[in-house]
Structures are given as C-alpha cells and as structure tokens.
C-alpha cells in the first residue's frame, strides 16, 4: 500500500469531532451544578471575545449553586450580561465582584429543550465527521487519478475511511444517548 494516503490523520480529525462534541455536552446542564456548565459562555472583554474562564474563576460551592469570581471589577457587568443572555436559563445575583448563580430545578419542558440542544450538537459533530470523510475520499480519488495509488488500494482505503466514519458516528450516538438519559433523569 502507498504511504501517500494517511488514514491516521483522518482518524485524528474524526476524534477531534468527538472531543468537540464531548466539550459541548459538558456545558449542558443536568440535575447538579458543574463548573463546566459556563464553558460555552463568551464575554466581550477588552475589545475581543474571551471564554469566561479567562476573566473569572468558576466554582461550585453547593450542589445547586455556581459562584463566579470576576478578576477585574470593570468586567462584572459584562460577565453578568453574558450569563443572562446565554440560553442556559440562568439569573446571576451580583455580590461585589462575585456572581452567585442559583440553578433552578429543571422542569420537564426545560429538560426537553436541553435534549434538543444535545441533538443539535450531535448533528454538528456528525456533519464534521462527514466532512472529514469527504476530504479523505476526494484525496483518494485524486491519488488514484494521478496514478499514485492503484484502484485496488484506493478501494481498500475507501473501505477503511468508511469504517472509521461509521465507528465515529456510532461513538457520537452512544455519547448522545448517555447525555440524554442524564438530562431526563429526575
């Protein structure tokens, strides 16, 4: 087989889609507080967009409470606004340079909304995986057309690319089912 085609690069890129999906899911709320809940929130600070963990420290003092300690007093308002405007349904209480965020009990409707968001994240990850697959297949066609690999090698690689794609999508679906059960658990 030719070394012109790197199946491991495609596998690494597909693994990146899985890791990104896991990160997205960590920001979805279940029944208990988690410091990673605020990870997707971006703050407009100092003329650019920054993740919340670059302007504040997020801790979990109680099971249903988050505490956000903002480092710069001038940023408290921007952090509070970003948390309120996120679609997480949170209302921070400002106490000096600290924001306390009580986590309301998740009702059935909110749980279903969170499951829909999880499904959107899963679809984005599947699309990313399919893009990686398409890139791999296009590269195989080009290598075959240029005569760098034989038709047989191309077919073998194409099967391996498809197998890797199927495994990645199965992993994404498995993660989604677990998260969905976690969200719906009362």
Cα–Cα distance, 123 to 153 (Å, whole number): 31
Class of domain 32-102: alpha beta
Tell me, yes or no, if the two domains 7-25+107-184 and 32-102 fold the same way.
no
Average pLDDT of the chain? 87
Q: Which residue has the higher pLDDT, 168 or 108?
A: 168
Does the pLDDT at position 29 exceed 70?
no
Q: Which residue has the higher pLDDT, 186 or 82?
A: 82
> Residue 101's Cα: distance from chain center in Å?
22
Percent of residues, the chain, with pLDDT higher than 90? 38
Mean pLDDT of 107-126: 88
Mean pLDDT of 26-43: 76
Percent of residues, the chain, with pLDDT higher than 70? 95
Helix 151-184 × helix 7-26 angle, to 10°: 10
Helix 151-184 × helix 108-145 angle, to 10°: 170
Q: What CATH code would you report for 7-25+107-184?
A: 1.10.132.20
Split at pLDDT 50, 70, 90, the class of 3 is low
pLDDT tens digits for range 125-139:
999 999 999 999 999
Res 1: pLDDT: 46
Split at pLDDT 50, 70, 90, the class of 186 is low
**Token pair belonging to 167:** 């495994």
Q: Domain-by-domain residue ranges, the chain? A: 7-25+107-184, 32-102
**Token pair belonging to 65:** 């409470």
Pair 92, 101: CB distance under 8 Å: yes
Q: How far apart are the first and last CA of the chain?
A: 53
Pair 90, 103: CB distance under 8 Å: yes
Which CA distances in Å does 66 have to 30, 54, 166? 13, 17, 38
pLDDT tens digits for range 54-110:
889 999 888 788 899 999 888 899 899 888 888 777 889 998 989 998 887 778 887
Res 33: pLDDT: 73
């Amino acid at each position: 087989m030719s070394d012109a085609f790197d199946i491991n690069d495609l596998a690494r890129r597909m693994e990146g889609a899985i890791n990104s999906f896991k990160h997205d899911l960590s920001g979805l709320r279940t029944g208990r507080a988690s410091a990673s809940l605020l990870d997707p929130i971006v703050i407009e600070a100092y003329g650019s967009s920054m993740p919340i963990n670059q302007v504040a420290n997020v801790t979990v003092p109680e099971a249903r409470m988050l505490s956000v300690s903002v480092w710069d007093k001038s940023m408290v308002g921007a952090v509070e606004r970003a948390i309120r405007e996120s679609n997480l349904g949170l209302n921070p209480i400002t106490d000096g340079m600290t924001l306390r965020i009580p986590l309301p009990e998740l009702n059935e409707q909110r749980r279903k909304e969170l499951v829909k968001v999880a499904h959107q994240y899963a679809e984005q990850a599947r699309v990313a995986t399919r893009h990686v697959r398409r890139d791999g297949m296009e590269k195989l066609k080009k290598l075959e057309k240029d005569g760098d690999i034989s038709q047989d090698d191309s077919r073998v690689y194409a099967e391996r690319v498809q197998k890797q794609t199927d495994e990645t999508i199965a992993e994404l679906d498995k993660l989604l089912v677990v998260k969905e059960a976690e969200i719906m658990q009362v």
